Amino acid sequence: MSVVGIDFGNLNSKIAIARNRGIDVICNEVSNRATPSLVSFGPKQRYLGEAAKTQEISNFKNTVSSLKRLAGRTYQDKEIQEIEKEYINAELVDEKGQLGVKVQYLGEQRIFTNTQLLAMYFTKLKDITSAELKIPISDVVISVPGWFTDIQRRSILDAAEVAGLNCLRLMNDITAAALGYGITKTDLPEDKAQARNVVFVDIGHSCYNVAVVSFVKGQLTVKSTAYDRHFGGRNFDQVLADHFAEVIKTKYKIDIKTNPKAIFRLRTAIEKLKKVLSANTQAPLSVESIMNDIDVQAIITRQEFEELSNHLFDRIEGPLSQALQESGLKLEDIHSIEVVGGSTRVPSIKERISKFFGKELNYTLNQDEAVARGCALQCAILSPVFKVREFTVRDIINYPIKIQWETIPEIPDEGTELVVFPKNNSIPSTKILTFYRKQPFDIEAHYAEPDKIPAGINPWIGRFSIKGVTPTETGELSIIKVKARLNVHSVLYVESASVYEEVIKEEKEESPKPEDPHQMETDKTEEAQPRPPSPTTKKVKNQVKKGELPLVSGTGGLDKSIITQFKEMEGQMIATDKLVADTETQKNALEEYIYDIRAKIESSYQEFVNPADKDIISNLLTSTEDWLYDEGEDATKSIYSEKLDELKKYGNPIVERYRESDERPRAEKLLRESI
Ligand code: ATP
Ligand code: MG
Ligand code: K
């Protein structure tokens, strides 16, 4: 069984695994510890991760980036139209209500949905991991930003399922970093009153996440979080791109803004330049053949960069102060500040964070790998086969969720909605709602503050139909208890609906105080109050479960049938890619054989080839080689293996004769020694 953590980043992803009693970040096929979050499509195969990066510019329109930002979105989504479109080179389209891309694949125009694209990328991460572990993998923990909504989370889970991954937990990325911190600290306080409060800040490529986390021995509790969902390295890249576009316009009289490829080339160069600027006071820009065969050069000082980016630096403080305020802590309660994410290397960003807290920043965690490591740790904790130190992770949700229903004439004052999971409610969590109904009814879950969720995301979470509801035997309203659950992924669903019966018991104590009839936390108490609440008498009404009711759920996730269909399609694409790879391997084997035999018949094999055969073999080698570089350039796997077999018909006897003669003296020697 595998223990794997994936930091799914917008620019690139990191994979950590548990082995040798520790956590390792693994390398991909080109020995990089981070894999570009890209998928692309070609005439014969897909290119995933590094391979997509290699040909990003030559296969411009068929390369899809920003996969993470596409999860759970629709084509009409404001943020897709106004922001993400700018960063994605492939054409975005609407595919039956799903966000899709239109690309050329296997010589035809194809549309793939966001979930499929995510699944393709996860397939790649899965391959990288199984190549390293040398076993098929399934169990993983994947990171998502804490601000992801229900539908975004479901999209990632659906994609993982399509890729054949069993996601044990979608972990909020900053919480993963906090887990990595907590589990290695041996000096955490035992006493809750002395809990250590640490602020974690993650600024990556596309977003900025903050959490205030309190630690005691063996446990972390996220107290508050705050986000800037549109703040990261790419914003700085954009500021620099705008600046250099102007410089280039003046200096070279070309307007690169009219040319998407030129913009892309510039952005690529800027991403490198920006890193140079973090360590140096100035950095050169140089792009060959940016457009119209013109090479451009420029230079920028850190000071200029800082002036251009000042409006961005001014946004640093907001989430920090919001998180601090919501945590209910004061500046002096903060023990330390831990920073992760690539963009926290920008000196001015560090300065601003440090200034806000009036403290030096801490770098206990690996800035690039902390999230992946935390996810792997969480996977190890959840995995039954792996022993890890006990560590409880108490995370929270970011947006309040309400349940809505329709009133019935019998209970006119029932109200129509209730916030069941308020902001910062801990996860996982189950709440029981009690209804009094004679007939089947529906409830709906919505985000209670639609303006707080990412613009363009539908606040609707799901509709749940409770079937089979009838009046009681005496024709009264039945008591129906509905269990709503936020699971470890922070995904909401209705777990069950049951019908209860009231049984009157004589008891001495007073009945409990009336409470909100609809809400009760099972984690604390299993008892729920009926409506109307029982008066304070010595007769106590107890509710006894009579049976389960049928339940039909409609949520933002994909239907099982579509997931099955996507799985089949993914399977076919994997097979296509594998065939291309196997064909290449077979072709290389043929080529190698030609060179090997050709060299050896002139040397070590010489005395084992009879002169008559030698010409035949030589000619065959030459003709096969000629064929390989001509019409055989692009043949099928079976043709390459036929050709190889043909060569081996002549080659094998020679090799055998050589081996025999080589082994004979050795065997004789062994024989002599053993006598
Ligand atoms: P996200 O968390 O937003 O989904 P991600 O996890 O892929 O994205 P990271 O790997 O944390 O992002 O960070 C990548 C960003 O950090 C890029 O924008 C990159 O340019 C920037 N970055 C990396 N190193 C440096 C550096 N030395 N100086 C400035 N910026 C840097
Ligand atoms: Mg990240
Ligand atoms: K375990």
With bands split at pLDDT 50, 70 and 90, how would you rate the model's confidence at 523? very low
Residue 374 Cα to ligand 2 middle (Å): 12
Measured from the CB, is residue 52 less than 6 Å from ligand 1?
no
CATH fit for domain 561-674, picks 1.20.1270.10, 3.30.2420.10, 1.10.3470.10, 3.90.180.10: 1.20.1270.10
Query: What are the residues whose beta carbons fall under 8 Å from the beta carbon of 512, sequence distance 6 or more?
Result: 527, 529
pLDDT band at 505 (very low <50, low <70, confident <90, very high): confident
What is residue 509's predicted lDDT score, i.e. its pLDDT? 56
Q: What is the pLDDT of residue 662?
A: 79
Q: Is the alpha carbon torsion for 216, 222, 223, 229 positive or negative?
A: positive
**Cα 341 to averaged position of ligand 1 atoms, centre (Å):** 6
- In contact, 363 and 352? CB cutoff 8 Å: no
- Residue 513's pLDDT band (cuts 50, 70, 90): very low
pLDDT at 525: 31
Ligand nearest 381 Cα, by number? 3
The DSSP output letter for 605 is T
Mean pLDDT of the chain, nearest integer? 93
Task: Give the mean pLDDT of 615-631.
Answer: 93
DSSP of 50-66, one letter per residue? HHHHHTTTTTGGGEE--
pLDDT in tens, 399-449: 999 999 999 999 988 899 999 999 999 999 999 999 999 999 999 999 999
- Residue that the structure tokens 């996982």 belong to: 428
ipTM above threshold 0.90: yes
Q: Which of 599, 608, 176 is nearest to 371 (CA)?
A: 176
**pTM score of the predicted model:** 0.91
Question: Which pLDDT band, with edges at 50, 70 and 90, does 144 fall under?
Answer: very high
CA distances from 122 to 59, 166, 353 (A): 21, 11, 34
For atom 15 of ligand 1, which residue has the closest CA?
205
Give the pLDDT confidence score for residue 161 in this predicted structure.
98
Is the per-residue pLDDT at 529 higher than 50?
no
Q: How far apart are CA 461 and CA 670, in angstroms?
A: 77
Per-residue pLDDT at 516 exceeds 90: no
Q: What is the pLDDT of residue 464?
A: 98
Helix axes 114-133, 150-162, angle to 10 degrees: 50
Give domain 401-557's CATH architecture.
Sandwich (2.60)
Cα 597 off chain centre by: 48
Q: Tell me: the pLDDT tens digits for 247-286?
A: 999 999 999 999 999 999 999 999 999 999 999 999 999 9
Structure tokens given for 385: 């086969």
Across 365-389, average pLDDT: 94
**How far from each other are the two terminal CA atoms of the chain, in whole angstroms?**
51
Among the ranges given (75-84, 114-123, 655-664), the one the predictor scored with the smallest mean pLDDT: 655-664
pLDDT tens digits, 565-589: 999 999 999 999 999 999 999 999 9
- Residue 664, C-beta contacts closer than 8 angstroms, at least 6 positions apart: none
C-beta pairs of 248-256 under 8 Å, 24+ apart in sequence = 248/290, 248/296, 248/298, 251/296, 251/298, 252/294, 252/296, 254/290, 254/291, 254/292, 254/294, 256/290, 256/291
Is 65's pLDDT higher than 70?
Answer: yes
Domain map (residue ranges) of the chain: 4-230+315-392, 233-313, 401-557, 561-674
Phi and psi at residue 34, to the nearest 5°? -125, 140
CA distances from 657 to 145, 147, 599, 662, 666 (A): 65, 70, 17, 8, 15
Burial of 305-323, coded b for 16+ CB within 10 Å and e otherwise, reads: bbeebeebeeebeebbebb
Task: Look at residue 527 in the predicted model and tell me its pLDDT.
Answer: 34
Query: Is the confidence at residue 368, as pLDDT, over 50?
Result: yes
The stretch 34-52 carries a mean pLDDT of 98
Cβ(274) to ligand 1 under 6 A? yes
Structure token digits, residue 389? 């130190």
Ligand 3 ion local residues (Cβ < 5 A): 386
Q: Is pLDDT above 70 for 511? A: no
For residue 38, what pLDDT is reported? 98
What's residue 590's pLDDT? 95
- Of 618, 599, 606, 588, give the one whose Cα is nearest residue 661: 606
**Residue corresponding to tokens 């290449």:** 584
Please give the backbone phi and psi of residue 205, each rounded to the nearest 5 degrees, phi first.
-90, -35
Diameter of the chain by CA atoms? 114
Instruction: Calculate mean pLDDT across residues 210-225.
Output: 98
- Ligand 1 within 6 A of CB of 209: no
Whether 328 contacts 223, CB under 8 Å? yes
Distance CA(195)–CA(522), nearest Å, equals 27
Mutate to test the pocket of ligand 1, among 205, 210, 268, 302 (most ligand atoms within 8 A of CB): 205
Note the CATH architecture for domain 4-230+315-392.
2-Layer Sandwich (3.30)
- Whole-number pLDDT of residue 518: 54
> What pLDDT sits at residue 524?
37
**Domain 233-313 carries which CATH code?**
3.90.640.10
pLDDT exceeds cutoff 60 at 521 = no
Alpha carbons 39 and 50: distance in angstroms, whole number: 9
* pLDDT reading at 519 higher than 60: no
Whole-angstrom CA distances from 459 to 389, 399, 555 are 39, 10, 12
The DSSP output letter for 522 is: T
